[in-house]
Structure 1
Amino acid sequence: MTFAEPRSADLSAGPDGTAVAGVLALRYRIAAAAVGGGPTGTVTRNYLVEDREGRRWFVKSYPPGTDLAGEREAMALGEAARAGGVPVPAVLRTVAGEVIASGGGLSVSVAEYVADAETAKGGLSGGRWAAVGEAVGLLHRVLAGHPAGPPRHVPAREVCDVERAGRRLRESLGLWAATPPPAESFAGWAHRTAARRLDALPEVAARLDGLPATLTAQVVHGDLASPNLLLRGPSVAALIDFRPPRRRSAAWELGRIVLDPRTVLARPDDWIPGLARAVDAYRAANPGLPAEELVAVPRITAGYLGCSVYPLSVPLHDPAALTPALEAYGRARHEAATVLWEGLEEAEGVLRDLLL
């Protein structure tokens, strides 16, 4: 996590820093000595606060209209994982015992600051493969007992839904047909890529026939992407930003983080042995997930990317959300799917030798 230098919490910090400092003093009894800008959130505005005793806190400010009930459920899920030994930052409650403080037009949550950590946006390498596999395995083993529901088996087509992908791609192409975007723009690239992805769906469907008939769905993190995985050296420092509890494929979530497009593209010669190290560590931490589902991780990941419309549809439905980083990520997802398909037989062979 990289932060700007903290700013003074008095009026010279402007209304935002002053408002945050005021809420912390009133609701948390934290006397802020400095308020600094934190990492950019997808929706939230984040701050790093240092109190007068030198302790640091991560403060998340929610915009009006945020589903605060859902945020509370997500934070409770993170606390459940933490109670089971998963590295999750502790949530600080208000003096009234609340996890989110609301008042005066401002809603915030406060958690312990994870020092000397970085996100996994740079990809996995070295000992990080096994560390991440172990952490995700422990997470899934702990959350398998969550009161939202025990694990159950779902058809593999629910994880990689080719029919739904076809409908959504045709919808996007129909919207573009009236006003084709400039060829050189990201929207133009997205338009062309959506057409190619639609044409490739029959081949994707044929490849997905190689998946197990059913996959284990359980309560998972829900948004276990590189920005929400914090690393410190070769170790996992924290998992952050859980989503409200819902069942999804455990193998899908494992593949989503260990085969992140940025990892696959940055290390095209290392992702298969790295995946094997991650899966081996995952299995040791969570032996309950069937081996055939772990073997299927690269096929699930490639199939999911092949069926994904995100972020191709963003220029159509939310153009204001487009950023250079999101555009680069969209291109990386498309390129990584090709790399995964090309290496699929080798990857599955390595995992079979390891697990079966």
Structure 2
Amino acid sequence: MSAQSDSMVVTGILTLLYRIVPVSVSEGPAGTATRNYLVEDREGGRWFVKEYPRGTDVGEEQQALALGESARAAGVPVPAVRRTVTGELIASAGGLSVSVTEYVADAQTAEGGLSGGRWAAVGEAVGRLHRALARHPAGPPRPVPVGAVCDVERAGRRLEDLLARWAAAPPSQGFAAWAHRTAERRLAALPEAAARLERLPVTLTAQVVHGDLASPNLLLRGEEVAALIDFRPPGHRSAARELGRIVLDPRIVLDPRTVLARPDEWIPGLVRAVDAYRAANPALSAGDLLAVPRVAAGYLACSVYPLSEPLNDPAALTPALEAYGRARQEAATVLWERLEEAEEVLRDVLS
């Protein structure tokens, strides 16, 4: 079905199942897998409409939306979901499934970088989120082995498999050639990464979290957090890993306003974020919080994505994804190089 045909079906769904009469339907920012629309209704209301690809597990997406609703009910900045006239979180008709949330105006994603008061604002928002979701019906926080958060053995198997698939005809140019070389270097560096990860606590705290809290899913307005978006279904994951993933996202750590232009910015920023997180969620242990930079570095060291994309999904490779892949590698180098320094500063704050 063409984009124009889909837009017409979406307009019909909004009118019949949401009682929203659109006067304007335009393409919104591209999602990882979804087609998105910005809609204005005849009352002047503005909506963000997400069209899911055919074959999507709608049940899982409903769980993700419900998780966001739980966080919003606890005061976390999450856009309100507009339910259908029958109370459903997702409407399906004409072969399409869509969800509708309020439009977050005058906001930008955190891909633009963190600076000033944004570090503390993000730490505080994530702390409030984790404090709220610790009470989720899916279960309370629990300890998990650090190997479940940064699985070095699994990373080794995946890198070996990737290199074996390339063995017959190693790529000689472009992103694929870079990914091949990087996979070789990452595999060779895994023993050192494993040794560094042994300095983490034996266990870390896992709980229900956002599930996909990277910079594209954090909206900022000035120095405030405007919204957290695109939750995943409830699942227990490391709270320290999620905090580190957003405040040490490669797109943030390597933003020209932080590491590359002002190399001393990200460590004080990390400290401000962790301090604000702790004030908002004192239940997470100091050990978990001190682990944030080492877990972030370890996770990057164990990652195969997007090195695997030239083999697994060449069509998904875009200039933006290729740049992100290179940024992940550079960010891992930066984090390892200054890891002890970052931990020492954090230790002073957390003691």
Judge same fold: TM > 0.5, yes or no.
Answer: yes
Q: 2:184 aligns to what?
A: 195
Out of 318, 326, 345, the position equivalent to 2:313 is 318
Shift of residue 106, structure 1, vs aligned partner: 1.4
Partners in 1 of 2:96 and 2:250 — Cα distance?
36
Q: 1:231 aligns to what?
A: 220
Q: 2:166 aligns to what?
A: 176
Partners in 2 of 1:186 and 1:299 — Cα distance?
28
Q: How does 1:317-356 map to 2 (within 5 A)?
A: 317-356=312-351
Partners in 2 of 1:320 and 1:150 — Cα distance?
40
SS in 2 for 1:178: coil
Shift of residue 14, structure 1, vs aligned partner: 3.3
Query: 1:305 touches 1:334 (CA, 8 Å); kept in 2?
Result: yes
Q: Deviations over 1:147-194 (max 9, x none)?
A: 111110011111111000000000000000012112x21011000000
TM-score, with length taken from structure 2 = 0.97
The 4+ residue runs of structure 1 with deviation greater than 3 A are none
Identity fraction in percent: 75
Out of 279, 282, 285, the position equivalent to 2:277 is 282
Shift of residue 231, structure 1, vs aligned partner: 0.3
Shift of residue 21, structure 1, vs aligned partner: 1.1
Q: How does 1:122-137 map to 2 (within 5 A)?
A: 122-137=112-127
Query: 1:229 touches 1:236 (CA, 8 Å); kept in 2?
Result: yes
Shift of residue 263, structure 1, vs aligned partner: 1.5
Shift of residue 265, structure 1, vs aligned partner: 1.4
Q: How does 1:154-173 map to 2 (within 5 A)?
A: 154-173=144-163
Q: How does 1:39-118 map to 2 (within 5 A)?
A: 39-118=29-108
Out of 194, 215, 240, the position equivalent to 1:251 is 240
Partners in 2 of 1:58 and 1:169 — Cα distance?
39
Q: 1:306 aligns to what?
A: 301
Task: Say whether residues 1:292 and 2:282 are aligned partners.
Answer: no
Partners in 2 of 1:280 and 1:126 — Cα distance?
14
Task: Say whether residues 1:140 and 2:130 are aligned partners.
Answer: yes
The amino acid across from 2:189 in the alignment is A
Partners in 2 of 1:101 and 1:71 — Cα distance?
11
Partners in 2 of 1:14 and 1:146 — Cα distance?
40
Partners in 2 of 1:190 and 1:14 — Cα distance?
37
Shift of residue 23, structure 1, vs aligned partner: 0.9
Structure 1, unaligned stretches of length 5 or more? 1-12
Structure 2, unaligned stretches of length 5 or more? none
Q: 1:27 aligns to what?
A: 17
